[in-house]
Structure 1
Amino acid sequence: MNKYLILCVDDEREVLDSVIQDLDCFEEYFLLEAAESVQEAKQLIDECNQQDIKLALIVCDHIMPDQTGIQFLIELNEQPDTAATRKLLLTGQAGLEDTVEAVNHSSLDFYIAKPWRGDELRQAVKQQLTTYIIDNEQDLIPWAAALDTEKIFEAVAQNRINYGE
């Protein structure tokens, strides 16, 4: 079932390790990867695409050496393979102007300020992944155990109404 990727990008290894630890509860259903730079993230995305693993969610820091997180999210939003990816910015340093730019380019689905609480991050990720799976997966029932059960079953019921199943 791991045909979907959760990618966490932050240039600070300790932060990245903490995010991965907070999200390891999703590893049974999703491939969970970490990248310390935008360049490394792009390589991981390319490798996963070659294996037909779709980027479901990216959790990205803003201030990084090569390219800002917001620039990267905008870039991902403009590419056909990653346009549907849910994009979460996890940062303490994105200013209002940067955040508005990301929102205006439809490149940001959720924002969490550092320092974050693990339960808050897990809940936001769960909601973003639920939205992604409902929009991109036909067989929703197997996802009910890992994601927002109520929303999954509502989508199943809606699909039955829409498609007369």
Structure 2
Amino acid sequence: MPANLPNIKLEPDCTNCAAYCCVALAFDRSNMFAYDKQAAEPCKHLDKAHSCTIHDDLDTQGFKGCIRYNCFGAGQRVFSEIFAGRSWRDHPSEAQEMFDAYRVMHNVHEFLAMLQAARKLNLDTAQISQIEAFETELNPTSPWTSATLIAFQTCGTFEEIRAFFTGLRDRV
């Protein structure tokens, strides 16, 4: 991991999360999900302890999308750092704020993981410098809050990063 991202874990740790992915995100009935679920609606397979009751049988129960999903560590970061271990169940007045923060943090972590992967490509000095600049923006010195995350999603950085990745197509 780059030196400027020492404390960010980009792997999911469901035991230190409030199952944000199982609540915040919507899904449609398909070959990936066995039923329709609205955003902010808990999955019907989620128990009171934020655990999946069919985790060992996701594939056979029709939830291949859950198997493939990766939060890149955003869930536990939002749970522990932004909401100090508070759950949407125990603090329903904050639930929507938690879900919104999770969705943006997921984008932040996914981009950090993609930037790490991009470092393995044959890049020039300018591209490496751009990666470092993006990593700094995605990992500010001041801790993220739900308000700064929501504001960040509209500042243009996500679009700049997407354009940067499009420009790397010839390097893959």
Larger Rg: 2
By the TM > 0.5 criterion, same fold?
no
State TM-score, norm by structure 2. Answer: 0.29
More strand by share: 1
Instruction: Report the TM-score when normalising by structure 1.
Output: 0.30
